[in-house]
Structure 1
């Protein structure tokens, strides 16, 4: 069976190709990408927003993902496919398949590999608990993925012991929040734990208890704020062993 893309038939360089031709072409390209990047096509321009919504940490923080966006035509033209195909190449490069959304790539692709297997299954599992938690939160722990996360956290907590952590740490806050609460930028207490009246349940504080989160680098402290276009204030804290021992005793 021959496939002819009508939008490609306006020029003399385009040739009819079969489904077998397209599948073979994509198989070779996948092997090329795996050989050059030890990775694969993660998403294309059409499903980028869906990927960013599902994996926001990768989209915002992963340098490899951010720097491995490439034009699909450039990717084809820099591969060994140019030596394997001659007249058909002009047609076949319009049929690069995106495994995420199941469409033919129009402009660019992101080359990236998650550090885990069963990506599709895990993404589905990640997406289900939030909707259950919003509609029927009392049923959340009946979800297998939510249960497995709870068991993993309990296992890690059982194997975790408090440790002294002397060194330099950073704590960032949005400057607008400090001003709104009439706090002083020069008062160290401004960067301490939030009062219990304003703290809520969060991804790092499910109990909603006052606590302080410190970062080991300035960049991490700023990234944790999660707002790239807002003014932030950062305090640098230096803790020695004696201070850590005193804090542990107080705890």
Structure 2
């Protein structure tokens, strides 16, 4: 099966901001949406990875810019959004993708890792909303695409805190959708996906659980295509949630 981006030919080019864009779903989404004809603005901590991805997108004819971004810093996220608006005149889509997943059983008491997940997966999402919502309100249109997880729907051993953060992402997104009538909100809940998320697992039990669980995984491009579908809908159509996971079962 090809994992190359396939253009959905949107009716108009949009300015799309993507957090956590240096790898995995974020990078695949950047490639896909650039192939669709959108302008993509990339943010992540690893600037060298962003630069390489931006060169790849430009070589394929896409329009892209990038800057380092720490989603746990509210002022940094605000600058990321305002810089994009100043450069391109508007912010049409905010893809809140940045996330971490250092799994472990609760009895391991890895408080630092729990707090890191809360900071990135929950506060990072809230910072993205806080930065982009005033801009979209002023435009009277916009679109949030927030990455949750199948972990927002099903809890598994070693994933209690991670699943809690992703349920929070789902709940925040649903609340936002109900509050903002003129702004679209889409929650993407991927099943197990090929990415670097598992690289953050330091607990040996959690690492082994994930190794077994990841024997069947989606390519990140499959999630990117789901995001592309939601973004490509007419302005009066809001795709509220997409759950996407592999066909095969364990």
Question: For this structure pair, what is the TM-score category when the shorter chain's length is used for normalisation?
Answer: under 0.3
Query: Per chain length, whose mean CA-contact separation is higher, i.e. which structure has more relative contact order (CA < 8 Å, sep 6+)?
Result: 2
- Flag the structure with larger Rg: 1
